[in-house]
Amino acid sequence: MKSFRTELENPVVEKDIVELERKIRQFREGELNEEKFRSLRLARGVYGQRQPGVQMVRIKLPYGKVTARQLHRIADVSDTYSTGILHITTRQDIQIHYVDLDRTPELWAELERDAVTLREACGNTVRNVTASETAGIDPGEPFDVSPYAQALFEYFLRNPVGQEMGRKFKVSFSASDADTGLSYMHDLGFIARVEAGRRGFKVLVGGGLGAQPRHADVLYEFLPQEQIIPLMERVLRVFDRYGERKSRAKARMKFLIRDIGLDRFRELLAEETPGIPVREYPIDAEAYPQPRPASTPPDIPVPADMEAYQAWKRTNTIRQKQDGYVAVGLRVFLGNFTTRQARQLADLVARYAASEIRLSLRQNILIPFVREAWLPYFHNELEKIGLAQPGYNTAADITACPGTDTCNLGIASSTGIATELERVIAAEYPDFIHNPDVVIKISGCMNACGQHNMAHIGFQGMSVRTRDKRVAPALQVLLGGGNRGGGEGIFADKVIKIPSKRGPQALRIILDDYLENGGGQPYDRYYQEQGQHYFYDKLKPLSDVSDLTPEDFIDWGTDKKYEKAIGIGECAGVVIDLISTLLLEAEEKLEDAQKALEAGKWAASIYYAYSAQIHAAKALLTSEDVAVNSHAAILKDFDTHFIDQPRGFGNDSFRQAVLRMNRHAPDAGFAREYLEQARNFLSEASAFRQKELSHAS
């Protein structure tokens, strides 16, 4: 059985932070090029903002669990290094903005005092592992998925197999067949199942959102729990080797599976099996820390406004499977709350709940293990904090990414239009505060961080050009998405594009029609009945741009004339093709391989040595102007273009020699032998490159 470690006692953390500080210094002094530095800092949660000279820092919080102590630490760090505003993401992270790059190592070190990490929160890595926020308390769950999400997070953090992939990789866990973890839109999704008394998961692979959303395929109807980590290692190895690397638009798992098919993908998984370090990885769920609910009651007040209290209780509480307890949902406007609120909330849950919160995929907060009899007290205290607004996870509770507020990729304001739409619902459709059957989500661009294309009603930031070539902010209206449960979902249809300032009108038309004709059914089912053309005809008058007013050229939340300004996207890093940089990276991989070998981490050493050979081969192919778009292509093309060149490993082809890692168990003997092969190849590659340069001069 595997135990649960903590980052706080891991000596690797200190080295990681020192390395970030050293790389920042090298970058400032011109010793490290910008592209290489960007890739490195992204893998450490440091992301460039739209505003020059400052960074967004993403704090990685597996499955959204945050203890009261950690929340205090995050609040302290935000006050010291940022603006005192915390932003909850749709992947259960917390982001802070306007951070000085030079202070990020110090910030990270402060967070690690309470086992909070930035590592792999951005970049071409395994991103935050998400899960149903109700995991552990859901009456419908077969078991708590939290221990499994935690074990997977720990296993792959800093694991060489997931450090420099073609793009990001996203994983989710759903507590039950309700699939509130949204497995169908993830690279790898797990839904809790029990068969013949064994714990396991339904497994989906190859889902994703973005400009071309794809529904995940079912890989296994049931996979025993001890197989999930070995499976993910094989999936990552296949993605790392065969995934697209040249075109970022195609460098996702969903495109790999679309192109090769699920049957071929299964074959590739089988080819990786001999080389993975473990065939089974049992997870001891009993070792997972259990919540300790408070037992000393507060003084229970009589609600001053019984009607407001009852409205809040109806929409913001969830009955737990544990008798006598409920979870309290906090509706967090656009996912933003202050450090003052965070500290007060931390104190409240430490004293009268189980000393933890869960961040949700809809940018909200859930407090588990509140005694039902204490709800009047919680409502009273949350009102003081400013977090007692009713309508948790209802139509009135809109999800939106930061958009043009801070993101380089934002095209139009998502927070501005979300603010206005929430105002419209509160003022004109107050009953929707009780309606969980309409989900509204907004993204500032096609990348779908706001998950607009799986919402019942979605809006995507765009721009629109008039006949006289003026550019105004616009919204793509999407309708009919939804989660059907069991790993089944529907992506919303693109219905029409309208100027942004007409967004409220569009919402009124959509909601009025639903109230008149929907018959009380969930919105996605009503949409399917009516069809795309029905809604296109209703909204078409709003798409006419021949009569735009000056106000239409000013986006929501600003008073300045709109300009379409898209910066360099950093959400998945960059591809580095500089020959010297590639050879330098190969050297660094060899150093990592040697250190892993000395530490007895055979599988890690082998994978670092594999990466060193791939980097060196790519450098030589690049020197010959050979374009490569995957590791598999490098393995193939090197033998084609350098068939007569020494390789340092005998008569085998480059592909045969490198892929020996798939035919051998990762033991000490093979790790040493394979590292020596990598050293010899890099030596030959460097000599060849030097010879090329000398001839050129």
Contacts of 469 (CB under 8 A, 6+ apart): none
Model's pTM, two decimal places? 0.91
pLDDT-based confidence at 570, cuts 50/70/90?
low
Q: Which CATH code for domain 125-290? A: 3.30.413.10
Q: Check if the beta carbon of residue 608 is closer than 8 Å to that of residue 589.
A: yes
Tokens of 256: 């790999």
Q: How many CB atoms lie within 10 A of CB 644?
A: 5
29, pLDDT greater than 70: yes
Residue 583 confidence (pLDDT):
86
What's the whole-number mean pLDDT along residues 562-587? 63
Residue 13 confidence (pLDDT):
87
Tokens of 352: 């009268």
Q: Which CATH code for domain 579-696? A: 1.20.120.330
R_g over Cα of the chain: 26
648: DSSP letter:
S
Do strands 457-465 and 440-443 pair parallel, antiparallel, or not at all (unpaired)? parallel
b/e map 104-143, b = 16+ CB within 10 Å: bbebbbbbbebbbbbbbbbbbbbbbbbbbbbbbbbeebbb
Q: How far from 224 is each of 106, 238, 242, CA to CA, in Å?
A: 42, 21, 26
Q: Check if the beta carbon of residue 131 is closer than 8 Å to that of residue 188.
A: no
Q: Residue 661 and residue 234: Cα distance in Å, rounded?
A: 13
Which DSSP helix (H) or strand (E) runs through 41?
Answer: helix 34-42
Look-up: residue for tokens 């986006």? Answer: 555
Crossing angle (nearest 10°) for helices 228-242 and 253-260? 80
Hey, CA dihedral for 581, 582, 587, 589, is it positive or negative? positive
Single-letter residue type at 686: S
Counting other chains too, the contacts that 509-513 makes at CB distance below 8 Å and 24 or more residues apart are 509/538, 509/539, 509/542, 510/457, 510/479, 510/535, 510/538, 510/539, 511/425, 511/429, 511/432, 511/438, 513/538
CA-nearest of 470, 444, 457, 664 to 571 is 444
Tokens of 532: 């795309």
pLDDT-based confidence at 297, cuts 50/70/90?
very high
Which pLDDT tens digit goes with each residue over 245-296? Answer: 888 778 899 999 999 999 999 999 999 999 999 999 999 999 999 999 999 9
Q: Residue 626 and residue 90: Cα distance in Å, rounded?
A: 39
Single-letter residue type at 684: E
Residue 643 confidence (pLDDT):
66
Q: Residue 143 and residue 485: Cα distance in Å, rounded?
A: 17
Contacts of 12 (CB under 8 A, 6+ apart): 158
N- to C-terminal Cα separation, the chain: 60
Q: Residue 370 and residue 376: Cα distance in Å, rounded?
A: 11
Do strands 440-443 and 399-400 pair parallel, antiparallel, or not at all (unpaired)? parallel
Q: Where are the domains of the chain?
A: 1-123, 125-290, 306-385, 399-553, 579-696
Among 274-283, 290-299, 584-593, 685-694, name the one with the lowest average pLDDT. 685-694
Residue 7 confidence (pLDDT):
42
**Considering the domain 1-123, what is its CATH architecture?**
2-Layer Sandwich (3.30)
Look-up: residue for tokens 């300032």? Answer: 501
Domain 399-553: state its class: alpha beta
Which pLDDT tens digit goes with each residue over 438-485? Answer: 999 999 988 889 999 999 999 999 999 988 889 999 999 999 999 999
Residue 695 confidence (pLDDT):
63
Among 27-36, 74-83, 172-181, 539-548, name the one with the lowest average pLDDT. 27-36
Contacts of 274 (CB under 8 A, 6+ apart): 662, 663, 664, 665
Enumerate the β-bridge partners of residue 48: 55
Residue 84 confidence (pLDDT):
96
Residue 1 confidence (pLDDT):
36
403, pLDDT greater than 60: yes
33, pLDDT greater than 50: yes
Q: Residue 607 and residue 596: Cα distance in Å, rounded?
A: 10
CA-nearest of 313, 308, 517, 265 to 430 is 308
169: DSSP letter:
B
pLDDT-based confidence at 696, cuts 50/70/90?
low
Q: Which CATH code for domain 306-385? A: 3.30.70.3340
CA-nearest of 637, 681, 559, 588 to 160 is 588
Contacts of 347 (CB under 8 A, 6+ apart): 68
Collapsed DSSP state (helix, strand, coil) of residue 680:
helix
Hey, CA dihedral for 19, 24, 29, 35, is it positive or negative? positive
Is 578 exposed, middle or buried, given 0-12, 13-18 or 19+ CB atoms closer than 10 A? middle
What are the start-end ranges of the E strands in 350-456?
Answer: 356-359, 365-371, 399-400, 440-443
